[in-house]
């Protein structure tokens, strides 16, 4: 479906914006929530790329409910109130693009589902998506593309902040790949613990999923810390920074094809 679509993904720490023109992602950017004053200008610039195209639309997903209304207001400012453009939200106006087989589907994070849906659309087989952002989620689908569930853990920055803020002497360090197998300073020991702790968790979870599925799933990584954590790792098939944006676009296209709108 050759959609012309502005896509908005409201995460815990930033807003991601994507523009699909004739079905292709032609632009993406990310704005930390601390820079919310920039939303309207950034959305206006993105919208201008497709505003004169055939049937341009706006779709979004959010795991941060308090920011939905302010974002809708920013969209109205950016596109002009007279245009009548509104955001169609995945999980509200737009159906989820895959089945969710968790015990409480309505409480399952929409970003988790969209990431897996986008990965399955590309791979066509059982797969795992690791989203390394404010939190780390490791989610899995079966061979039919049904979302089964996964795991949620503190993200790298959350772990590093907690070590510094909840101890008397541990410093705040930045996430980085350790230079050797043993931490020889306090800072490098923290890097060892967080970096390898996250990778070890992911490996253990993927192995558990493979045992349950009876097949080895492909692993896709996304999120702000994905490249630093997994960029050199043979376990990870690919790193896809814009995976959630593709998931929103997939949900929008599938919904409108299904409903003939």
Catalytic residues: 111
Tell me the Ramachandran region of residue 196: left when phi exceeds 0, alpha when psi lies from -120 to 50, beta otherwise.
Answer: alpha
Nearest CA-CA partner of 140 in 105, 104, 116, 108: 116
Nearest CA-CA partner of 247 in 2, 13, 20, 12: 20
C-alpha neighbours within 13 Å on the C-beta side of residue 125: 11
The Cα diameter of the chain in Å comes to 62
Q: 219: which 2 tokens?
A: 């692993």
- The span from the CA of 173 to the CA of 186, in Å, is 10
Helix 110-123 vs helix 243-259: angle between axes, to the nearest 10 degrees?
80
- The span from the CA of 184 to the CA of 42, in Å, is 44
Nearest CA-CA partner of 143 in 124, 126, 127: 126
Q: 101: which 2 tokens?
A: 């087989």
Q: 57: which 2 tokens?
A: 């639309």
β partners of residue 30: 16
């Amino acid at each position: 479906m050759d959609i012309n679509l502005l896509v908005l993904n409201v995460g815990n720490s930033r807003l991601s914006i994507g523009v699909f023109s004739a079905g292709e992602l032609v632009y993406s950017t990310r704005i930390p929530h601390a820079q919310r004053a920039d939303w309207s200008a950034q959305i206006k610039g993105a919208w201008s790329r497709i505003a004169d195209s055939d049937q341009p639309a706006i779709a979004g997903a959010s795991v941060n409910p308090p920011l939905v209304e302010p974002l809708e207001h920013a969209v109205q400012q950016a596109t002009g109130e007279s245009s009548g453009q509104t955001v169609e939200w995945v999980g509200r106006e737009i159906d989820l693009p895959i089945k969710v087989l968790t015990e409480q589907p309505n409480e399952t994070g929409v970003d988790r589902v969209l990431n897996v849906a986008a990965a399955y659309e590309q791979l066509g087989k059982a797969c795992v998506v690791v989203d390394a952002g404010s939190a780390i989620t490791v989610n899995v689908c079966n061979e039919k593309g049904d979302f089964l569930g996964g795991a949620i853990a503190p993200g790298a920055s959350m772990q590093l902040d907690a070590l510094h803020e909840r101890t008397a002497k541990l410093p705040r360090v930045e996430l980085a790949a350790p230079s050797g197998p043993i931490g020889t300073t306090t800072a490098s020991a923290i890097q060892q613990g967080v970096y390898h702790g996250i990778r070890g968790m992911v490996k253990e979870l993927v192995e558990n999923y493979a045992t349950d599925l009876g097949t080895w799933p492909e692993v896709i990584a996304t999120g702000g810390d994905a490249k630093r954590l997994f960029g050199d790792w043979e376990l990870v098939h690919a790193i896809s920074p814009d995976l959630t944006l593709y998931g929103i676009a997939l949900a929008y296209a599938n919904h409108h094809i299904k409903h003939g709108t």
